[in-house]
Structure 1
């Protein structure tokens, strides 16, 4: 499946003419509240209300949408013809994923020494990810939200206490799957390191972990970061987001006890909590 240029445009925050969208998918997105409508006479155009929410919805709807990238066979001409914006073809001009750390991690890139130690206020991007190797004792921590990813130093104590409590290595490489692609997961499948997933504490966030990561890496290698104070934090979470996600994710379950307990807790509190709440601890 090649994701259409019109969907790529919506994900990129562009406005798309109604005639360019599949009518069935358009109606479904409208029903889910994913699109904003602009009318000019009889013509309508659409824009994503929340590009990240739209991305999650599409991925959860059909695993083929995990590609969410411009196929290499798509030319600038065809992209411009469908969306009027040829620059969208650049969305996959640089494959790979960002990496970050709050202390030096000695890695290899194409067999040569490559130290991940970005200055505060910056991070690195590994484009040649197939040739990227890390020490076996490093815990790879995936962070869903870019604000958390950028500000790992403000969360250092939080991570160190969690890793120590769960008897995991204190050497950590932080990664993100931004921009959205399968590159990160494909790389994770080639290494043996433990993967710790840090995402939002809501049904959609758990679904992302279970179906985008755990089912590929296995329960022994992949775990979901669940803070000890999440029950108290959920009490001040968002009931609106829980309600928005309920119909699609109400039946989500896990045979990992800790994750199922978190799912039960979310249902009991009927709330969702953003991971950004842990910045600055």
Structure 2
């Protein structure tokens, strides 16, 4: 059984001799503690009831027996940490599942030719063999070469077959990163904010793709970021665009805040042909 952080904070208040309104602690657990005499209540005014702990030793014994918590303050402090391991949770409560922990923090990287970076101050080469990707876990100490442009690839198929799209990026030295799985996207954004490399967003050429870029990347990275629009995009939309992508999507961003001319041009083509274009068409 796991004690939530909110309840642990209530117990910590009570263990320090504080009185709390009964309205803050209800339910079967509160009823059990009142029945056992671990909790007691007193009236404050006509209707207000306050809970308190007559003997802290009884509360500590209950927490130890029921939740394996021997140091309540240490348990609360552990759950309050932003970065926490299962080992920390076991030390705090002999329970690695007391708080949901993301063990695999980080994101995927890919490239079609070797690129340099440093990891914990050591020079490394990123060069995944064909058919594989590289996963960067220690993102805090991962620094790409300053001459690289970080290219965020929106769709997994494009990311996995990036070598077939190298003709699109001949004017830059790219390191490709992926926002999937989606629970890793915050790790990627945090890393992008910490480095100085320019960021190029490679996504779908429709309202949804533009919205992802503006709402999830541009607002954090500002002028360091640009939206990738390939040459001959008008012909591509006209030839291979999908009407359903136009009919089924709505603009979820403020056009007045769009400062990149290529995005305005792309939007005009989307309206002109009433089509959106998925980036997979560029895999050749």
TM bracket, shorter-chain basis: 0.5 to 0.7
Tell whether the 8 Å contact from 1:202 to 1:242 is kept in structure 2 after alignment. yes
1:159 aligned onto 2:161: no
2:226 to 209, 214, 223: 223
CA distance in 2, matches of 1:210, 1:188: 15
Give the match for residue 129 of structure 1.
139
TM-score w.r.t. structure 2 length?
Answer: 0.61
Distance apart, 1:72 and its partner CA: 8.3
Structure 1 residues 175 and 113, CA, compared in 2 at 3 Å: closer, same or farther? same
Indicate the SS of the match to 1:98: strand
Give the match for residue 177 of structure 1.
179
Give the match for residue 94 of structure 2.
none
Distance apart, 1:252 and its partner CA: 4.0
Give the match for residue 139 of structure 1.
149
Indicate the SS of the match to 2:124: strand
Tell whether the 8 Å contact from 2:116 to 2:123 is kept in structure 1 after alignment. yes
1:273 to 271, 274, 277: 277
**Could you list the runs of 4 or more consecutive aligned residues of structure 1 that deviate by over 6 angstroms after TM superposition?**
none
CA distance in 2, matches of 1:242, 1:94: 36
Structure 1 residues 103 and 272, CA, compared in 2 at 3 Å: closer, same or farther? same
CA distance in 1, matches of 2:154, 2:103: 22
CA distance in 2, matches of 1:222, 1:251: 17
Tell whether the 8 Å contact from 1:147 to 1:276 is kept in structure 2 after alignment. yes
Gaps of 5+ in 1: 1-70, 76-85, 165-169
Indicate the SS of the match to 1:218: helix
Deviation by residue 1:18-38 (Cα, 9 ceiling, x = unmatched): xxxxxxxxxxxxxxxxxxxxx
Give the match for residue 105 of structure 2.
95
Indicate the SS of the match to 1:245: coil
Structure 1 residues 100 and 244, CA, compared in 2 at 3 Å: closer, same or farther? same
CA distance in 1, matches of 2:121, 2:236: 44
Structure 1 residues 116 and 243, CA, compared in 2 at 3 Å: closer, same or farther? same
Superposed CA RMSD in Å reads 2.2
**1:102-113 correspondence runs (5 A):** 102-113=112-123
Structure 1 residues 106 and 250, CA, compared in 2 at 3 Å: closer, same or farther? closer
Structure 1 residues 249 and 112, CA, compared in 2 at 3 Å: closer, same or farther? same
Deviation by residue 1:191-221 (Cα, 9 ceiling, x = unmatched): 11110110000001001111111111112x1
CA distance in 2, matches of 1:122, 1:240: 33
Give the match for residue 118 of structure 1.
128
Provide the aligned length of Structure 1 versus Structure 2: 186
- Return the index of the structure with the highest Cα Rg: 2
CA distance in 2, matches of 1:118, 1:95: 19
**1:36-51 correspondence runs (5 A):** none
Give the match for residue 30 of structure 1.
none
Structure 1 residues 238 and 72, CA, compared in 2 at 3 Å: closer, same or farther? farther
- With a CA cutoff of 8 Å and minimum separation of 6, indicate the structure with the bigger relative contact order: 1
Distance apart, 1:250 and its partner CA: 8.1
Distance apart, 1:123 and its partner CA: 0.9
CA distance in 1, matches of 2:253, 2:145: 39
1:150 to 150, 160, 165: 160
